[in-house]
Amino acid sequence: MKKIILAITENSNHELLTIAESSYRKKFSNLKIYEKPISITKVPYRINIKGERQYLADAILKEGASLLEENSVLIIITDFDIYTYGTNYIFGLATKYMGIVSSARINPKFWSQIPEIYQYTTMGREFFIKQYEKVLLHELGHTISLTHCNNIKCVMKFSNSPIELYSKGENYCEKCQKYINAHFL
């Protein structure tokens, strides 16, 4: 059974790691938490529309690569805004065996300039956690080469904006779940 290793970037809210752990535990039993934060001091960044640092996700994944163990995948949690080549921002990114999830843009609070998205702040913490869990499951799927799914109810559906993220389902569809089971159960 494949192991999920969870780690967090330095200077990030540790609660995010706790939430991610309990989210994965609902579905997966082989979990390991790596408590030492991953340093991002050498990771390239640019400045986002809010004047905050936005880090290159690909480079954060590289920083975490040494944490991988045999028959495991690694998920890195961060609250820093992230991007990859050719994008304005991303909720997460994954390659084979490694993924990263950023809470920065998932939270509707980020979008104070866009009422259509910002209105979701009224739905509170539970809503945020639900969206965060979607990205956790999505990137985990990619770490074992599960590709995007056309089913709007499936968590493996691609989301290019918060609205798309908020409107898709919270679980894997039957087809994607079968693929997950074959690797993790």
Binding residues for Zn ion, rule CB under 5 A, total 6
Question: Among residues 43 and 154, whose Cβ is nearest to Zn ion?
Answer: 154
Choose, by CB under 5 A, the member of 38, 75, 149, 165 that binds Zn ion: 149
Dihedral in degrees, nearest 10, Cα atoms 29, 34, 40, 44: -30
In eight-state DSSP terms, residue 116 is H
State whether the Cα torsion 3-93-157-167 is positive or negative.
positive
Choose, by CB under 5 A, the member of 176, 179, 180, 184 that binds Zn ion: 176
Q: Which stretch binds Zn ion (CB under 5 A): 42-50, 53-61, 69-77, 156-164?
A: 156-164
Pairing of strands 72-78, 92-95: unpaired
Q: Which of 143, 124, 117, 101 is nearest to 13 (CA)?
A: 101
Q: Which stretch binds Zn ion (CB under 5 A): 1-9, 53-61, 129-137, 152-160?
A: 152-160
CA 150 to chain centre: 19
Each residue 75-94 as x (binds Zn ion by CB under 5 A) or -, in order, gives --------------------
140 binding Zn ion? (CB under 5 A): no
135 binding Zn ion? (CB under 5 A): no
Pairing of strands 45-47, 31-33: unpaired
Among this protein's residues, is 139 annotated catalytic?
yes
Q: Which residues are catalytic?
A: 139
Residues at the site binding Zn ion, with contacts judged by CB under 5 A: 149, 151, 154, 156, 173, 176
